[in-house]
Chain A
Amino acid sequence: MVNEVCKVLEHVDIGSGYRQIVFDAPQIAAGAQPGQFVHVRVPGLEASALRRPFSIFNAEGGKLELLYKTVGRGTAALNAVKPGDDVSVMGPLGHGFPLKCDGAALLVGGGFGVAPLYFLARRLLESQSRPTSLVLFVGGRTKADLLALDRFAALGVEVRAATNDGSAGVKGLVTDPLDDELVRIRAEGGKFELFACGPDPMLKAVALRATGTGMKGWISMDRHMVCGVGACYACIQKTVRGNSRCCIEGPVFAAADLVWE
């Protein structure tokens, strides 16, 4: 982990409140693993403001890519950052996804929850022990919430979408096409592992499918964080081990370890 002053290389609006930002971050990018995050000191906020955590969308060739939605004061201030600006970025932080998968890798993302799944898909496909297949299940309220589909397509990832309004993919929840696939794999006696990032109700639904089928599930929890390094104990997730810190024991937890309130 380092605290690196990073130059912004690109920062683009990709529509519907979503943005993509690219940093020149050689030290962070070199060590980053899928599912890890970075803690960003947002220029434009007062100097004493807390940092904001972001999943790593991609880390490649010294570049660090983030994908985010403008949801509050921190992300709104981040919108104003321009190429050429210097930003203090701490990372890579936390425990990410495992890079070995037994059977089919089923990635499940909701909204900007696909951010760490792109980096994960890329690394899984590059790994020596490639999964038998890799499918991204992606959900959102509407078509505009389905992000980075071109990037997944470029990796050759099969994408199955669901939207609440039916504007893309099937009308319904992301777990609808996921369940169809689980039924198919299990009918054939196949194995799979689930990798999920998105809103809590989706994560819980995916985690219960992993524990219910006895398969492995890897769940990336999103919590407001303070220190980002395990020092302050603000970002707690209940697990079988007690109150675990999302920033250091997570953000990726084994589905079987999570305790849902």
Chain B
Amino acid sequence: MTDMKVNLGGLELASPVVTASGTFGYGFEYLGAVDYSKIGAVTAKGICLEAWPGNPMPRHCEVPGGLVNAIGLQGTGVEHFLKYTVPWFRQQVKGVPVIANIWGRSVEEYAEVAARMGDVVDAIEMNVSCPNVKAGGHTFGQDPKVLEEVVAAVRKSTKLPLVVKLAPNVPSVVPYVRACEDAGADALSLINTLPAMVIDIERRKPVLANKTGGLSGRGIHPAAVKLVYDAHVASKLPILAMGGVAEAKDAIEFLLAGATAVAVGTATFSDPGTAGAVYDGIADYCERHEFSAVAELTGNLLV
């Protein structure tokens, strides 16, 4: 039996496979179609201070190898999240940690949302890289100085394990990784979606009402592996890797590139059993290659 436990910057996970923010609602929506015993944690949909309506329709477009979305962080706000959403999840699904994904329109808002989380959730993932909301998120992940400031502010306002979700569309991820280290982050998550656009040539209009969106799904996986590898080479911070994981092989690539845990996102839409199958496949791989613990895979790349 492989030891499947991992520690993501202080967050103890019974499985290295978690769900990615925005693809798994608030954790309970897939009840009945998902085996939670193989899911290390659920990452909830992005939350900010107030209720946020999100973008106009259409919000998504299927493309070869993936999905372009511009949902725009629709959400109920932190108060509703803490008072109703998390308690409902805890009641429905026992023993699975919750990672709250937070965003804000200012440094102060980020810090306040994080502070409000108290110890109701098990960890915080900061979204500083959503490409779909101009007012928030995106800008904080595109300048290492600004990133350091916002991460430091959130660090001061929470004792929870703090994960920072980085943008993929930067010349080098290294300055952003350093900024997170310097600001006291406990872990990194990457990658967020890649900025993308789809055009309806008959109407000569963008398909998405937001004009542009973020690309996720299988097609982005090799790009994500490269960025995870870059981040791991640059830093000792544990990494939660996401981007196109659809089968165990994809997750194992991430682990070998330097990730401590992996998140399944878009693949859940076609098969809600993906996270469970990825868990089984990682365990099989460890047995086949005689690793007694999945943690031994992290960065265990022969180069």
Contacts and interface: CB of A to CB of B under 8 A. Distances in A.
Interface of A: 1-3, 41, 46-51, 88, 90, 223-224, 226-227, 229-234, 236, 242-243, 248
A58 B31 CA distance: 24
Given A224-B60, A226-B60, A229-B29, A47 B270 contact: yes
A51 B25 contact: no
Interface string B30-54: 1111000000000001000001011
Interface of B: 22-25, 29-33, 45, 51, 53-54, 57-60, 62, 64-67, 69, 71, 74, 217-218, 246, 266-273
A234 B59 contact: yes
Contacts, number: 87
B25 A231 contact: yes
Given A234-B59, A234-B69, A236-B57, 19 more contacts: A3-B33, A46-B65, A49-B270, A50-B67, A51-B270, A88-B271, A224-B58, A224-B60, A226-B60, A227-B29, A227-B269, A229-B25, A231-B30, A232-B23, A232-B269, A233-B59, A234-B60, A234-B71, A242-B51
A227 B32 contact: no
A130 B62 CA distance: 43
Contacts of B69: 226, 232, 234
29 contacts: A1-B32, A1-B33, A3-B273, A41-B270, A41-B271, A48-B65, A48-B66, A48-B266, A48-B267, A49-B270, A50-B269, A90-B33, A226-B67, A227-B30, A227-B268, A227-B269, A229-B25, A230-B25, A231-B25, A231-B30, A231-B45, A232-B22, A232-B60, A232-B69, A234-B59, A234-B71, A236-B57, A242-B53, A248-B29
A227 B71 CA distance: 13
Q: Which one of A1, A50, A233 has the greatest number of beta carbons of chain B within 10 Å?
A: A233
Contacts of B23: 227, 231-232
A251 to B, nearest CB: 14
A87 to B, nearest CB: 13
Contacts of A90: 33, 272
Contact of A230 (B29, B246, B268): B29
A2 B32 CA distance: 5
Q: Which one of A3, A88, A236, A248 has the greatest number of beta carbons of chain B within 10 Å?
A: A236
A233 B53 contact: no
A50 to B, nearest CB: 5
A43 B75 CA distance: 33
A2 B268 CA distance: 14
